[in-house]
């Protein structure tokens, strides 16, 4: 399964830079709005941002003392991005990190709700460029 990092976002240089600066500084707004038409990469960008935030060494921009004890970490080439090698990065790649939460609208019968959520998350696991749509 491919995992998209902030450095790999396509066609979003301003958003990419702003999100990386937030991660590198460790200062976050209380909310972020990813908006635009379907297929522009809102979900991909939001997941890449979450991965960078949850990365244990907090990206290559972290001070050296924060990286101590992370011998299994290969810091990324770009400051403020996910390393891709720590335990948190492996969990977020599988969408299994306990601090990674998904909130999205669902439609249909309540009896199908559990199935809909599982199918949507599995689609995202299989395709990092998955476009979530609903009626």
Domains in the chain: boundaries: 6-126
Give the pLDDT confidence score for residue 88 in this predicted structure: 92
Give the pLDDT confidence score for residue 111 in this predicted structure: 61
Tokens of 126: 């299989």
* 0.85 surpassed by pTM: no
Measured CA distances, 124 to 22, 24, 80, 85, 96 (Å) = 24, 26, 23, 20, 12
Sorted by sequence, the CB contacts under 8 Å of residue 129 that are 6+ apart come out as 4, 41, 44
Q: Which residues of the chain are under the pLDDT cut of 50?
A: 59-76
């Amino acid at each position: 399964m491919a995992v998209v990092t902030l450095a790999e976002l396509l066609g979003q240089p301003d958003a990419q830079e702003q999100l990386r600066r937030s991660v590198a500084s460790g200062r976050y707004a209380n909310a972020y709005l990813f908006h635009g038409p379907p297929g522009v990469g809102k979900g991909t960008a939001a997941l890449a941002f979450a991965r960078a935030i949850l990365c244990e060494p907090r990206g290559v921009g972290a001070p050296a003392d924060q990286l101590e004890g992370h011998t299994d970490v290969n810091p990324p080439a770009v400051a403020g991005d996910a390393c891709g090698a720590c335990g948190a990065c492996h969990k977020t790649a599988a969408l299994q990190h306990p601090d990674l939460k998904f909130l999205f609208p669902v439609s249909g019968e309540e009896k199908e709700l559990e199935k809909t959520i599982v199918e949507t998350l599995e689609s995202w696991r299989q395709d990092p460029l998955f476009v979530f749509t609903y009626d």
